[in-house]
Chains A and B, each alone.
Chain A
Amino acid sequence: MDTRWRNTRNNRPLKVAAFILCCILAFSTFFFLIRIVHFSYQCRPEMNRGALFGNIEDSSFTNSSIFTRQLYNDLEMISDMANYYKNDEYVDSGAAFRPREQELVQQMKDQIKSDIRDAKIALLDEMSRHDEGTGRYYYPGYSQDESLIPENYSNEITVIKGAEYYNGVPLMSVVVDEDEITERVKKEYQGIINSERLDLTRRYRNTAEHISGIKNLSYIVINRNTGEIYTNFNGSVSKDANLLSMVDKDKWSLAVQNGKFSYGSPVYNNDGNQDYYDDYRKIDLDMYLSERFIGDNLDIFLMVNTDADTLVEGDGYYKAFNQYTKTYDHIKLFTSLFIASFVLCLAAFGFCCAMAGETDENGKVKLAKIDRVYTSIHFIISLSLFITGAVLVATFSKDIVQEFDGEISLWATSFTSAIGAAAAAVGTQWAMSVVRHVRNGTLLKHTLTNVLIVKNYERIKMVLSFEKAKHIRTKVVGIASVAVAVNLFLIMLLAVSVASGNGFFSTVFFGLIIIFDLAVIYMVKSSIKALDDLMEAIIQAQEGKFGVEISVSSMPLYLRDFAQRIVNLRDGMKIAVDEAVKGERMKTELITNVSHDLKTPLTSIISYVDLLKRCDLDDQTALSYIKVLEEKSGRLKKLIEDLVEASKASTGNVNMNITKVNLSELAVQLTGENEEELRAMGIDMRISVPQEAPIVLADSQKAFRAIENLMSNISKYAMPGTRVYVEVGRDNGYGFISIKNVSKDALDIPVEQLTQRFVRGDAARSSEGSGLGLSIAENLVTLQDGEFNIELDGDLFKATVKFKLDQELDL
């Protein structure tokens, strides 16, 4: 089972498809939902939850807002007709327009008055401004009653004794008389009045036409004041008739009196008033139907035919009925689709969640990239996006479903549904991420707060812990805290003193703060300086300088012990170093002295062997013994000399006199010195030098000694009849001389051992030589910052000596 789920979980295309499907289904869910709600609004003025889930059985045409809207529209037209337009004659004579005309003229007169007054004020302003240049105040109304000029000269209109004044000038005095205004109204506004009147006539014609086109409605309007009756009812209607009793219930299925509905056969209650159908619509219709007509003192009675069988074709009610029927059919389909979409969407969502997180063979969950976002952050972002989406969907849906004008906007619905789908996508991906984290066991561990705490655990622990410092006394921390507290306290006192305006205490506290802070700064600085001194002493000691003075007594108390320990440590170190240096020197001295003591007797041996040679000896055996003595004494001499040199070179007890040395010159000189000797042994020397001689930094004498040792090795160990190659060149900042020769004995020793003291190419040590040559050479070269390198390739022996190139010259 595990494998099957894993295969599905790791099937990325399938999961992507499921996710997209979920989004699409969310889209369709929202789409159908909006349409259902919209229908519910069309059917009823208020939301009926039953309609949302397809329960629209109690819905009927007369119940729907489609019908209500139509009825309201007609009612308004009929009441307008009964109240204002009345009939053609009334409109044509201008009587219908009169109230409106009077209202218009009054408005225009007021406008003209106000215009004239504004013009006057502007003029007065201009006049007073005119004389400001002279520096004198100019009051336009001074020639009038000066006592009326207010003391505080003002540009505002002042009312004095019921009359308006502006800068002391009575404004009313400048307003022209009524006749002139009427004249101006006629002149300037007659066009507007005429167009308004035409407009009224046009509206009357439209209304009359509409009313005459009504087929499924019968109306009776009685003006209770005048007794006028306006109706399309084909029967006689008297002023005091009981209208309800006149209803032919077969023909009219609904009657409305003054905005109050009754269905079928009206019911009378005890007090003789009609018992109105009591439902929620009454409140609405009461508000916008009945009150209005009562105010106009009209008695309006409507009879409506809403029966599908007898409905007459060709008017608003017929259309409304058809629209209602169509929508009603749609809603059944949409409800099924909505339910299907919703269920499938949930299924897709569930699948996405269940299959979230690819899994490897070990059942370990592979987190997606988005999962790197801390779960808490992810939750907050997803939630806010989701809520934003939900709010947008709710807002847009409300606008859409409350749109009463028939057809719903497909574009707006799609757009809103898309937002809903996006919100669903956000929610789904969050849920999937949660599932992945849960399966991985990291949901709570990966929250931002948790991660922050884990990452800074050590720091948090340190701040919170009460662990004592091992060496710095806790007092130091205490002193620092006290210093901060005292400072804050002093600042507080200063603030209080300043606030209470006490100059003396303010000065005192200010001074105290300065003195206290300077003391604290002094303490901090001396602490830091003491630490710095200690650091300097340690750094210098590490570089071999032990002379830096540490004055322990002037250290801060908490550092004294530490400083004393450092002094002790340093002194101990100095003694150790001195001892080591002394020991090394003594070793070299010992070797020098011993060799010196060896040399004196050796001198005698050499001399006497030579003298013995000169004696007249016939015994061949004796002569051969003398020869052995001579050889071995010579060997001993060489050994002693090399021993001293090797000991000095290996301890670095050699003074180096570094100068610029021409390696080509050195190589040529060496060749010149050794060539003849080697040739005598049948060894040919080949030398190759570069066009431009490498100039290196070396001690010329010591460099020669090193290379001479190599040369002497050649004379000892090179195979006669072979060639020796000396090459000079430069390599990566170094100049080098390499010497290659073929060894006469097999070199069966590791390269590293060759440069060790007393190691020779021949294990038997039969040949001459001390075994120190290469060791001395290596030490001497290394002491000059050079490199000494030996390579063995079968019997081929290659020694390379490198010295640093003189950069100055090379550049």
Chain B
Amino acid sequence: MYNVLICDDDEAILESVDIYLKLEGYNVIKAQDGMQAIKAAQENELHCIILDIMMPRLDGLNTTLKLREKQNIPIILLSAKGEDTDKITGLSFGADDYVTKPFNPLELIARVKSQIRRYVSLGSIGRSEGVIVTGGLELDTGAKILRLDGDEVKLTATEYGILEYLCQNMGRVLSTQQIYEAVWNEPSYTTEKTVTVHIRRIREKIEINPKEPKYLKVVWGIGYKMEKY
């Protein structure tokens, strides 16, 4: 039984999220502002916190700052502000994920699940040689296995090759041409559509919302990169 704190000043949202989380079997603690959330975090052993940003008394960002002073619990920010700058601000305040309203409830639940799994299993898996880690993603180059939040993800050989090449060049933007030449090991004379199709499939396997990827990001008109966390 994991404890999840959901904090929002809007009752209806609070209720609906509560229902979804309970359906997934989580123990839900509710709060309506930042102060309540901090109090609840002190009183309970939490595994994940969902915080709305726009709240009375203490807003989500400041709550995140306060919580991060002592705890390392995964925090998912919930906000109606959907701008890139808002997301960046939220993440830099110490949040682990950022979901914009209006959200798909199932996506939110998936993110909660992902955060809890990583939080709970973190450190239980030994860091061996040849394992590349970014966020909840672990690529074991020895065994040629990819794990997402501890669960193995099935990949085809080409998909694995692309992922391995991207992970080896973590944070760098690689063009489809570069990827093609490295993975297929033959010269490419034109921009390859094959690569983009494969990457799309990989994203569908490793991302919660493939349209807004967390790990395998598209840099439009330049190439792809594996985000380093």
CB of A602 within 8 Å of the partner chain: yes
A655-697 residues at the B interface, CB under 8 angstroms: 659-673, 675-676, 687, 689, 691, 693
Which residues on B sit within 8 Å (CB–CB) of A605? Answer: 102
| Pairwise interchain contact B221-A669, C-beta atoms closer than 8 A | yes
CB of B103 within 8 Å of the partner chain: yes
Interface 9-residue window, one of B32-40, B68-76, B157-165, B189-197: B189-197
| Pairwise interchain contact A604-B10, C-beta atoms closer than 8 A | yes
* B177 to chain A: closest residue by CB: A665
Contact A596 B196, CB 8 Å, known A604-B12, A637-B102: no
Which residues on B sit within 8 Å (CB–CB) of A601? Answer: 10, 12
A629-661 residues at the B interface, CB under 8 angstroms: 633, 637, 641, 644, 659-661
Chief secondary structure at chain A's binding surface: helix
* A644 to chain B: closest residue by CB: B82
| Pairwise interchain contact A675-B197, C-beta atoms closer than 8 A | yes
State which of A604, A665, A671 has its C-beta within 8 Å of the C-beta of B223: A665
CB of A704 within 8 Å of the partner chain: yes
CB of B13 within 8 Å of the partner chain: yes
In the bound complex, how far is the Cα of B101 from the Cα of A407, in angstroms? 129
* A654 to chain B: closest residue by CB: B83
CB of B219 within 8 Å of the partner chain: yes
State which of A607, A665, A671 has its C-beta within 8 Å of the C-beta of B13: A607
Please report the number of residue pairs spanning A and B whose Cβ atoms sit closer than 8 angstroms: 114
In the bound complex, how far is the Cα of B176 from the Cα of A673, in angstroms? 13
| Pairwise interchain contact A659-B222, C-beta atoms closer than 8 A | yes
A155-188 residues at the B interface, CB under 8 angstroms: none
Min distance, Cβ A727 to any Cβ of chain B, angstroms: 13
Min distance, Cβ B173 to any Cβ of chain A, angstroms: 10
CB of A378 within 8 Å of the partner chain: no
Which residues on A sit within 8 Å (CB–CB) of B13? Answer: 600, 603-604, 607
CB of B209 within 8 Å of the partner chain: no
Which residues on A sit within 8 Å (CB–CB) of B105? Answer: 606-607, 610-611
Interface string of A604-620 (1 = CB under 8 A from B): 11111011000000000
* B211 to chain A: closest residue by CB: A673
| Pairwise interchain contact B176-A665, C-beta atoms closer than 8 A | yes
| Pairwise interchain contact A700-B219, C-beta atoms closer than 8 A | yes
Interface 9-residue window, one of B16-24, B58-66, B112-120: B16-24
Which residues on A sit within 8 Å (CB–CB) of B19? Answer: 611
Which residues on B sit within 8 Å (CB–CB) of A673? Answer: 196, 200, 218
Q: How many residues of A contact B (CB 8 A)?
A: 44
| Pairwise interchain contact A602-B101, C-beta atoms closer than 8 A | yes
Min distance, Cβ B54 to any Cβ of chain A, angstroms: 8
CB of A805 within 8 Å of the partner chain: no
Interface string of A689-717 (1 = CB under 8 A from B): 10101000010110110000000000000
In the bound complex, how far is the Cα of B80 from the Cα of A605, in angstroms? 14
Q: How many residues of B contact A (CB 8 A)?
A: 36
Which residue, of B191, B222, B223, has the highest number of chain A Cβ atoms within 10 A? Answer: B191
Which residues on A sit within 8 Å (CB–CB) of B176? Answer: 665, 668-669
CB of A69 within 8 Å of the partner chain: no
Min distance, Cβ B187 to any Cβ of chain A, angstroms: 14
Which residues on B sit within 8 Å (CB–CB) of A670? Answer: 220
Which residues on A sit within 8 Å (CB–CB) of B192? Answer: 668
State which of B10, B102, B196 has its C-beta within 8 Å of the C-beta of A668: B196
CB of B27 within 8 Å of the partner chain: no
| Pairwise interchain contact A672-B222, C-beta atoms closer than 8 A | no
CB of B199 within 8 Å of the partner chain: yes
State which of A669, A675, A689 has its C-beta within 8 Å of the C-beta of B220: A669
Which residues on A sit within 8 Å (CB–CB) of B193? Answer: 668, 671-672, 675, 687
A446-471 residues at the B interface, CB under 8 angstroms: none
| Pairwise interchain contact A669-B218, C-beta atoms closer than 8 A | yes
In the bound complex, how far is the Cα of B192 from the Cα of A417, in angstroms? 98
| Pairwise interchain contact B221-A703, C-beta atoms closer than 8 A | yes
In the bound complex, how far is the Cα of B39 from the Cα of A417, in angstroms? 132
In the bound complex, how far is the Cα of B199 from the Cα of A668, in angstroms? 12
Min distance, Cβ A626 to any Cβ of chain B, angstroms: 15
Which residues on A sit within 8 Å (CB–CB) of B190? Answer: 664, 689, 691
Which residues on B sit within 8 Å (CB–CB) of A113? Answer: none
- Ordered nearest first, which 4 A-B pairs have the shortest CB separation? A672-B196, A661-B221, A704-B220, A607-B16
Chain A contact residues, CB within 8 Å of chain B: 595-596, 599-608, 610-611, 633, 637, 641, 644, 659-673, 675-676, 687, 689, 691, 693, 698, 700-701, 703-704
13 A-B pairs whose Cβ atoms sit less than 8 Å apart in the complex: A595-B80, A610-B106, A633-B102, A637-B102, A661-B221, A662-B222, A665-B177, A665-B222, A668-B195, A669-B220, A672-B196, A676-B197, A700-B220
Contacts beyond the supplied A665-B177, A673-B218, A704-B218: 12 A-B pairs with Cβ under 8 Å: A599-B102, A604-B13, A607-B13, A607-B20, A641-B82, A662-B191, A665-B191, A669-B220, A669-B221, A672-B199, A693-B191, A698-B221
